[in-house]
Chain A
């Protein structure tokens, strides 16, 4: 039908990344949940959280987790919106908006991570 954006790079890349981030999240979210909710709720005390966030290995892990979670979440929102008539009509706006939301979420989280 519509041949517009026939060579859209975003769609195949987003499709592939959605799967890759999904697979990574199975590992990272499980790990995150294990640390905070499975061993002891002591892990949620302020001093504990700050100490953990200042360990380099946790800092890296949380940065990666933040990046893949925000992408997966807002790319998922993009896919849901584009499944509707109104979504496809405003395709460019939806693509821009959701990717912007992804960046805002990521950089806000990164700001929190760095300032602690």
Chain B
């Protein structure tokens, strides 16, 4: 089927979707890590002017949507990853359905809370 098998619609359980999103969010976070390190290069300008101009651009209302989406990726990847580690050690394998539900609810709650705080801090 090829890579399209990871994104096939229909006939898949929610576990398989969790796998697909774990991959997608992982790639997003990898790209973000590279961007983050590049971004921090501006710290080398010891006057701080370059860095401050970047902060003025990225810590803003216009940029908030990207931050919120990034946090969603991170929170999902972290909580879903924790669930997978539990199963890899044979823990709670029989309870995989409720555990997935708990993980998704928890990810949603953490994401909403973090988004709210960031919205509040950017003066929303």
Contacts and interface: CB of A to CB of B under 8 A. Distances in A.
B117 A38 contact: yes
Interface residues of B, number: 31
Interface string B49-80: 00110010001000000010001001000100
A37 B55 contact: no
A23 B82 contact: yes
Interface residues of A, number: 31
A105 B34 contact: yes
A50 interface: yes
A87 B55 CA distance: 39
A22 B81 contact: yes
Interface stretch (B8-16, B22-30, B93-101): B22-30
Contacts, number: 70
A76 B48 contact: no
Contacts of A22: 78, 81-82, 85
Given A37-B117, A45-B52, A46-B52, A25 B59 contact: no
Interface in A31-45: 33, 37-38, 40-41, 44-45
Contacts of B26: 73, 76, 80
A41 B82 contact: no
Given A37-B117, A46-B48, A84-B3, A116 B43 contact: yes
Contact of A29 (B27, B74, B117): B74
B85 A19 contact: yes
A26 interface: yes
A33 B121 CA distance: 13
A105 B43 contact: no
Nearest to A80: B23
A112 B44 contact: yes
B48 A47 contact: yes
A112 B41 contact: yes
Given A44-B55, A80-B26, 9 more contacts: A40-B121, A41-B121, A41-B122, A46-B52, A50-B43, A50-B48, A73-B26, A77-B30, A112-B44
